[in-house]
Structure 1
Amino acid sequence: MEAVSSTGIVKANGIELFVRQQGEGPLVVLCHGWPELSYSWRHQIPALAAAGYRVVAPDMRGFGGSQAPADIGAYTIFDIVGDMVGLVGALGERQAVIIGHDWGAPVAWHAALFRPDVFTAVAGLSVPPPFRGRGRPLDTLRAGGIENFYWQYFQTPGVAEAEFERDVMLTMRTMLARGFSDPQSLFVAPDNGFLGQANPDLPLPPWLSEADLAHFIAAYRTSGFRGGLNWYRNIDRNWELTAPWQDAPIRQPALFIAGSEDAVVTGLIGAKRVQEMERVLPNLTRKLIIEGAGHWIQQECADEVNAALIAFLNDVAPSDA
């Protein structure tokens, strides 16, 4: 019998999180990235549930149907990992496997680093594990002569919000259909904005239907973009907060998945991290690079990602199914 899926609000860590959940068995928490939603896991939730897992995907803090605190300082990595720890407890569980994509990957990696008692295994999609550098990330960019990386463009409150909220349909079509296949897409040309010369007639890729796109558009028209952008406004603060974990390894079983055409793993920061991730992940069980795939990997290559995740889960948290 197919497990019934449900949605609802869960109170965790002092805020309300909108969650999608399905299945019974060992708990698996799915953390989405930017600019996405729990809906981004629509292909994984039923597949993992059918494999014998209790799968829970929240809209992360600041996104979709979850609460979005007004204070920029409420979006540190401590706050967001705290949400996931609180979510596990609010669901009546003590432990979980945590899986993240895009910004959700650093959440998953840090959750495993901070709370190995709660998160017994970890998988990251598209973003390698953290290497805490010797200086603040934004300072390091400037010291290298870089002034137009997208992290920098997102720092001033209101600037990126105005660009993205001017035409949410065009924004989401551009973000999801274009993706980050070109490393230059991570740099913002002067007076051109993050979206550049956006094309309202840009055809959707095969993995994204007009109905799927409409779901994202409706959610962001309601929520706006500030909550998600506030995650970027804590990049330097996160560097300061994570000082006690300098060079600390993540010892739990780990899995990494990315697309070979994803600029996040081929560009400025990511390529070196992919090559050296075993330094941080001594128990890395698999590094899967899917040839020809882009950034939205779990939507774009759902079957391959599902197979890899289920194989990993069967090893680290066997279900009774």
Structure 2
Amino acid sequence: MSEPEQLTIDANGLSFGALAWGDPDAPLALLVHGYPDTAWTWRHLGPHLAERGWRAVAPFTRGYGPTDLAPDDRYFIADLAEDLLALHTALGGDGRSVLVGHDWGAVATYGVTAREPRRFAKYVALSIPPTPAMLKPWTRRATLGIGARQLRLSWYFVYNQLPGSVGGLDRVIPKLWRDWSPGFDGREDVDRAFAALDSPARRRAALRYYRNNLQRGLKATFTLPVGAPVLYLHGADDGCMQAEIIEHFPDSLPAGSRHEVVPGLGHFMQLEAPERINPLIAEYLGTPA
């Protein structure tokens, strides 16, 4: 892994910390992490894309240090999408730019496609399907079991709403990494997550992603359209979100999309097997003009 540059970027009224690889004048590849994770999740993909002619930039999303907390306590999908559009502008992005998101970063990516589908040339989403797909198992008798199992896997959705959940993250975050990527040693990334969530205010911010979008933003969350074709990748052994959802409901992705379920990988696939995931993403993105 080549060591990244560490940037500070002012965008959308916030100061974002970010990691970056590659020529600053090259076309932008914006890489967006999820929960409970950090920009360091792209430490393998960033250099890989830089070698292929991209300026890869991975911001710490709002609330995750060193990025600012949202001053208005807003962590809705629309806010995350607005951040990415503002970062695109602040980083000198153009029509060649590409956007890659994992977990909440994938949801934010869908938010960008819903708002300005032509802002980026190509989109990649990992591990979380379009949000309307999460409800589709309940629409068919044959897939009700998938829906029931997903409810059990998504226990943390409810836990993250509880008033005392901030105090339990020391136990919960390591458990999520173990459960979501079985067999992967995520201790390094757990430590980085805790470093980015190093205060009660930051931990509360990470939980606000769930509290905002699953309370006041519930309808908008589960009706979010995807407005542009996407490469969607999902690990077959993902312990967070079942790969069976996209396998049964591939029409959740818009026309022109591609999806692939990758055997033997869990939720944090970009870290578990970069030698398998990086080429899939790089081939889809192509070489920048």
Q: TM-score range by the shorter chain?
A: 0.7 to 0.9
Match among 264, 289, 307 for residue 240 of structure 2:
264
Secondary structure of 1:119's match?
coil
Unaligned 5+ runs, structure 1? 135-143, 183-203
Inter-CA distance 47–132: structure 2 relative to 1 (3 Å threshold) = closer
Match runs of 1:208-223 below 5 Å = 208=186, 211-222=188-199
Identity %: 26
In structure 2, the partner of 1:238 is 217
Pair 1:319 & 2:288 matched:
yes
Inter-CA distance 213–97: structure 2 relative to 1 (3 Å threshold) = same
Inter-CA distance 172–150: structure 2 relative to 1 (3 Å threshold) = closer
In structure 1, the partner of 2:255 is 282
Secondary structure of 2:31's match?
strand
Name the CA distance, whole Å, in 2 between partners of 1:4 and 1:281: 36
Name the CA distance, whole Å, in 2 between partners of 1:126 and 1:247: 17
Please tell me the residue identity of whatever aligns with 1:289: V
Residue 256 of structure 1: how far off its partner (Å): 1.0
Residue 179 of structure 1: how far off its partner (Å): 3.0
- The answer on whether the counterparts of 1:17 and 1:65 sit within 8 Å (CA) in structure 2 is yes
TM-score (norm 1): 0.74
TM-score (norm 2): 0.82
Inter-CA distance 62–247: structure 2 relative to 1 (3 Å threshold) = closer
Match runs of 1:70-149 below 5 Å = 71-72=72-73, 74-95=74-95, 96-131=97-132, 149=155
Secondary structure of 2:46's match?
helix
Cα RMSD, aligned residues only: 3.1
Unaligned 5+ runs, structure 2? 136-147
Deviations 1:165-196 (A, max 9, x none): xxx4x5543332x13268xxxxxxxxxxxxxx
Inter-CA distance 70–251: structure 2 relative to 1 (3 Å threshold) = closer
Match runs of 1:9-28 below 5 Å = 9-24=8-23, 25-28=26-29
Please tell me the residue identity of whatever aligns with 2:46: I
Match among 275, 279, 282 for residue 303 of structure 1:
275
Greater Rg over alpha carbons, structure: 1
Please tell me the residue identity of whatever aligns with 2:253: V
Please tell me the residue identity of whatever aligns with 1:42: R
Give aligned pairs, total: 271
> More helix per residue: 1 or 2?
2
